């Protein structure tokens, strides 16, 4: 018979159909726990405690398991976001922590590990001068704000990919083709990283950009051959310019040195001419003084000096025979022999050769004088 039927036994210890007394129920439950764990109790209730003992033991074991399962470990490179009933509660760092199981949810995130995202190899985009370029890049990043990374954005990785594409296209669209291909890649990497970080901060993704590496930029495959020719021509131009610059660096100093030497020689020649002119002027003034003192003697001396200067550079001697119309020609170079070069008008002869020449000249002079008729003086 059920306890709620007429005449049935009330399990709560009350007669009739009246509701159980809550205080009485709690008191009985407390008494049973005391008897199980060694507490005192009446002897009349010992048989009732035997039936509820396994249930309480199971509850105690479950409570112990629940308590032990609440412990969790956070590594050194991690941070944990704790949600209580689905709402943010706190952030825990390295160490051993406890949270009530089934009440708090723990989400661990590696914050110090650098992650890597790489765009597609054929990532084509348009430059400022309306040229198409393939520009793959690699983004290195980590988690800067773990709370934003877990709670503010549904998929932070997807947001990173879309923001990277947007920032890259914006910067490439503001840069010319030659700069993207060759000289401006480093500046482009810095600009893309700066703009990408600003986008991620606005989205509150909690991602921190470490570095953006722009890989090899190249034109599309359809025009790559033509562009290679352009690059080769540019390299040839640079090579020719460098060679010309090197040649100029070698020739210009030499030309400047020769010009300086010519200037110095001209200065020296000018000083020499001025000095000679001044000396000649002074000598003329002195000769003029002497000429005024003795005109005939000075005239004769000047004549002799002039003749000496003229005949000093010749190897032929003409002798004016006194009282005759013929001149005596003495070919000293012929007399000395054709194999004897005459230098500076003077034969390089020894004493015997000079005596021989003098003898021949004397014989010629005597024959010439003997064959010349004498003329009577006035």
Beta-carbon count within 10 A of 195 CB: 19
User: 313-319, long-range: CB within 8 Å, 24+ apart, which pairs?
Assistant: 313/344, 313/345, 314/345, 315/342, 315/345, 315/347, 319/365
Assess contact for 119 and 160: CB atoms under 8 A: no
Closest CA to 325 of 372, 378, 366: 372
Check residue 109 and give its pLDDT.
92
Instruction: Quote the distance between the C-alpha of residue 72 and its chain's center.
Output: 50
Residue 33 has what pLDDT? 62
Beta bridge mates, 73: 96
Residue-level pLDDT, tens digit, the chain, 378 residues: 444 555 544 554 444 444 556 567 666 766 766 666 554 444 444 444 444 567 778 888 888 888 888 899 999 899 999 999 989 999 999 999 998 888 989 999 999 889 999 887 777 888 888 788 888 889 999 999 999 999 999 999 999 999 999 998 898 888 888 788 777 788 888 999 999 999 999 999 999 999 998 877 777 777 777 777 877 888 899 999 999 999 888 888 889 999 999 999 999 999 999 999 998 888 888 888 888 888 888 888 888 888 777 766 666 666 666 665 655 565 655 655 544 554 444 444 555 655 666 666 666 656 655 555 554 443
Cα separation values, 291 from 4, 55, 276, 303, Å = 177, 161, 21, 13
Q: Is the dihedral of CA 341, 345, 350, 354 positive or negative?
A: positive
Q: How far apart are CA 17 and CA 40, in angstroms?
A: 31
For the whole prediction, is pTM greater than 0.75?
A: no
Q: How far apart are CA 340 and CA 335, in angstroms?
A: 10
Please choose, from the candidates 215, 206, 216, the residue with its C-alpha nearest in 3D space to the C-alpha of residue 139. Answer: 215
What is the token pair recorded at 375?
């003329």
Structural domains in the chain plus CATH codes: 22-68 (no CATH), 71-110 (no CATH), 115-219 (3.30.479.30), 312-371 (no CATH)
**Containing H/E element for 91?**
strand 87-92
E strand segments, 163-311: 207-214
Question: Which residues make beta-bridge pairs with 72?
Answer: 97
Are the C-beta atoms of 347 and 332 separated by less than 8 Å? yes
């Amino acid at each position: 018979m059920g306890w709620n039927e007429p005449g049935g036994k009330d399990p709560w210890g009350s007669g009739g159909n009246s509701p159980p007394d809550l205080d009485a129920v709690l008191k009985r439950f407390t008494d049973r726990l005391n008897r199980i764990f060694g507490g005192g109790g009446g002897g009349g209730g010992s048989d009732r405690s035997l039936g509820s003992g396994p249930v309480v033991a199971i509850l105690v074991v479950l409570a112990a398991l629940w308590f032990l399962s609440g412990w969790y470990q956070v590594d050194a490179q991690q941070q944990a976001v704790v949600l209580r009933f689905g709402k943010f509660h706190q952030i825990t760092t390295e160490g051993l922590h406890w949270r009530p199981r089934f009440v708090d949810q723990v989400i661990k995130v590696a914050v110090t590990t650098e992650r890597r995202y790489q765009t597609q190899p054929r990532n084509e985009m348009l430059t400022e001068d309306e040229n198409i370029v393939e520009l793959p890049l690699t983004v290195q990043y980590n988690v800067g704000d773990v709370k934003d990374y877990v709670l503010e954005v549904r998929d932070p990785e997807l947001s990173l990919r879309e923001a990277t594409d947007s920032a890259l296209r914006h910067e490439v669209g503001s840069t010319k083709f030659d700069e993207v291909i060759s000289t401006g890649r480093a500046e482009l990497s810095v600009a893309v990283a700066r703009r990408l970080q600003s986008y991620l901060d606005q989205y509150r993704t909690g991602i921190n950009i470490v570095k953006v590496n722009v890989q090899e930029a190249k034109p599309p495959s359809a025009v790559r051959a033509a562009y290679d020719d352009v690059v080769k021509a540019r390299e040839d131009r640079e090579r020719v310019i460098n060679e010309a610059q090197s040649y100029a660096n070698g020739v210009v100093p030499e030309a400047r040195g020769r010009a300086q030497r010519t200037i110095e020689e001209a200065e020296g020649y000018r000083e020499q001419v001025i000095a000679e002119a001044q000396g000649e002027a002074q000598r003329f003034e002195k000769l003029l003084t002497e000429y005024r003192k003795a005109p005939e003697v000075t005239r004769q001396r000047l004549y002799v000096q002039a003749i000496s200067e003229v005949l000093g550079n010749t190897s032929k001697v003409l002798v004016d025979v006194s009282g005759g119309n013929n001149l005596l020609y003495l070919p000293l170079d012929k007399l000395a022999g054709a194999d004897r070069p005459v230098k500076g008008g003077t034969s390089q002869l020894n004493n015997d050769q000079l005596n021989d020449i003098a003898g021949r000249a004397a014989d010629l002079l005597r024959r010439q004088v003997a064959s010349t008729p004498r003329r009577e003086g006035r």
